[in-house]
Amino acid sequence: SSSALDDKVVDAALGLPDASEGGVTATSSRRIPGGLANRAIAAIDGDPDTWWSPGFLGQRREYVDYVTAEPITVDRLALTVLNDGRHSVPRVLQVAVGDSSGEDQVQEVTLPAIDDQEAANASHTFNVRLDRPASGTHVRVTVADRADAVREVQTLDWITGRSIVMPIGIVELGIEGLTAPPLPARMDVSCRPNLVEVDGTPVPVSLRGTTADMLAGRAVEVVACPTEALSLPAGRTTLRTTAGSFTGLDLDRVVLRSAAGGRADVGAGTIVTATSPGAGRPDVRVDREGRTKIDLTVTGADDAFWLVLGQSHNTGWTATADGKDLGEPILVDGYANGWEVPPGQTISVHLEWTPQKVVWAAVAASVLFVLLALALVAWPRRAGAGGEDDQWLPLDARPSMAQPFRFGRLLRYAGPAPSRFALVATVAASLLLGAAAIGPVPGLALAAAAVLALRVPRSRPLLTIGGPLLLAGSAGFLVFRQLVSRYPTGFDWPTYYEVVHQPAWTAVAMIALDVVVDRCWLRRWWPTEDSPT
C-alpha cells in the first residue's frame, strides 16, 4: 500500500466499511510517514498496541475525524496517550460533535500534567468528562492552537542537526459508541477491475494475502480472474496499472505469460507470486573491499541476476564477471548502480571506480613537479663567463620585491589617501561580489569594512587581523562541535555546520579585501623598498 495515502483510502483497500456501509469513515490531518498502522482508525480500534500519530514537527491543529453510520452521544472520554519519552503529550484538546444538519458543538478539554515513563510505548489514560453531552454522526478531536496545547518532546534531526518536535500518540479516544469495525484477517478476494488495464481494457485481478502483510508492506499474490485470455496485436501495446493514490494498492510487478508459439497459457493464473526475501538468490561473498575496488565471488546463480552496488549511480563504476565487461551500470532504486550478471555456479566479479585512476595520475604529477622544484633549488648555479658578477643583487634587495615584514604595518595603512575611483570601485565590488557569493548581510558588512579601511588608516586591524581570527574561529567551532556531537561522516555531514558557512567565507573575503585596500593606499600593485611604511 502507498504510504502517502489518505486514511480512508487505506481503510477501503483493507476492506473496512465506511459510514455509508454501516461502519466508520476515519480521516486525520496527517499521519507519520510510512506508518500505515498509525491511521485515524487506530485511535478507536480498542488495540493498546496501535495508535494514531501525526508525524514530526508542530503538533498544534492536528486532528482525527470520524463519521458514523448512526448518531452517538459524547459526554466523556477515556483518553489514552503515549508518555514514553519518545512522544509529545497533548495538554489541550478541542472536541467537536455534530451532524450534517448544523454546526458542530465544540468543547475544550484541558488534561492534567503527567510525567514520562521509561518503558517503551508506555501510556496513560485520562478520564475526561465534557461540560455538556453532545450528539451527532460527526466527531473531531483537535489539538488546540495554543502555546500550551502540547508538552513537546524533542529529538535531533539527523539531516539538519536541529531539534524537531516528536509526534503525539493517541492510543484510544475512549468514546462510547465510536468503535472501529473489525479488520478482516485476509484481503477481499473479489475481482478488482480498477488495478490493471491493457490498451484501455480493464483486466480483473484478485488479491490473495493477509491484511497484516499489506500493512507491513510485504508482497501479496495478484491472481488473474477467470476471463478470456488477452490477445495482444502486433506492434505497440500499453500496459497500465492504476496509481496507488487512487486505490490504496501499488502494483510493483505484473507478468504477462503465454504458452509456446504465443498461445494462451491455461495455467493456474498467478500473475505475481509473493516470495520471501532471499528466496532463489545466489550467494555473494566479498573477498576484498577497498574505497575504489571490490572483489566478489558469486555462487549458485542458476539464472541471470541483477547485482546492485549501493553507491550513487555513476558511469565511472565498472563491473566485470570472470573478466567480461558487464557494460555501463543501470540506475536502480533511483540512486544505485546495477548490472545484469549471467548465470554461473562460481563467478568472480570485480567492481572498480575508474575515475580514481585520474586522481592518482594527478597526484603523481604533483609529486613529480614538487621534486622538480626541489631539484631546481638544490642545483648549483654556475658563474657567468666573465667570472662572478659583482653587480648581482640579492633577490630580497631588488626594488621589485616586497618589503621585509614589520609588525607596525599590521596596525595601519601607509601612503596617501586612496583615490575616489579606488574608493568607489572597491566598495561597489565588495558589496556586489559579497552579496552574490556569500549573502546580502555579508555583502553589506564587507562594503562597510571597505569604506572604513579606505578612509581610516588605523582601521587596518579590522581586516588584517579580524579576517584570520574569524576564519580560525569558524574552524575552531567546527572542530569543537564535531568533537562534542560526533556527527556521522556521511554525505550530509556539511549540513551540520551551515551556521559557519557564511562567517568562514566572509573571513576569506576580508583577507582578500585587505590586500586590495593595501594596494589602494600604496597606489601601486606591489610594494617596493621606496614605498611608504
What's the pLDDT score for residue 48?
92
- pLDDT on residue 1: 45
- Residue 64 CA to residue 47 CA, distance in Å, equals 17
Specify whether the CB–CB gap between 110 and 91 falls below 8 A: yes
In angstroms, the CA 249 to CA 1 distance is 5
The Cα 435–Cα 41 span in angstroms is 52
Three-state DSSP string of 92-157: EEEEEEECCCCCCEEEEEECCCCCCCCCCCCEEEEEEEEEEEEEEEEEEEEECCCCCCEECCEEEC
Percent of the chain surpassing pLDDT 90: 50
Which of 177-191, 464-478, 483-497 has maximum average pLDDT?
464-478
d(CA 357, CA 360): 5
Mean pLDDT of the chain: 85
CA-only gyration radius of the chain, Å: 36
Pairing assessment for the beta strands 92-98 and 105-110 based on DSSP bridges: antiparallel
Count the neighbouring beta carbons within 10 Å of the beta carbon of residue 196: 21
Q: How confident is the model at residue 105 (pLDDT cuts 50, 70, 90)?
A: confident
Contact 30, 246 (CB under 8 A): no
Report whether CATH 3.10.290 matches the domain 283-355.
no
Name the E strands within 144-253.
Answer: 150-151, 154-156, 163-165, 170-172, 196-198, 201-202, 205-208, 221-224, 239-241
pLDDT in the model for residue 441? 94
Residue 526 has pLDDT above 60, yes or no: no
pLDDT tens digits, one per residue of 168-192: 999 999 999 999 999 888 888 888 8
Is the pTM of the predicted complex or chain greater than 0.85? no
Burial-class residue 513 by CB neighbours within 10 Å (0-12, 13-18, 19+). Answer: buried
What are 324's three cell numbers?
567480461
Count of other CB atoms within 10 angstroms of residue 504: 18
Q: Which CATH class is domain 7-172?
A: mainly beta
Cβ–Cβ < 8 Å for 168, 59: yes
Which of 4-18, 124-138, 173-187, 248-262 shows the lowest per-residue confidence on average (mean pLDDT)?
Answer: 248-262
What digits encode the pLDDT tens for the residues 368-419? 999 999 988 888 766 555 544 455 555 445 555 455 666 777 788 887 888 8
pLDDT for residue 334: 82
> Is 60 exceeded by the pLDDT of residue 260?
no
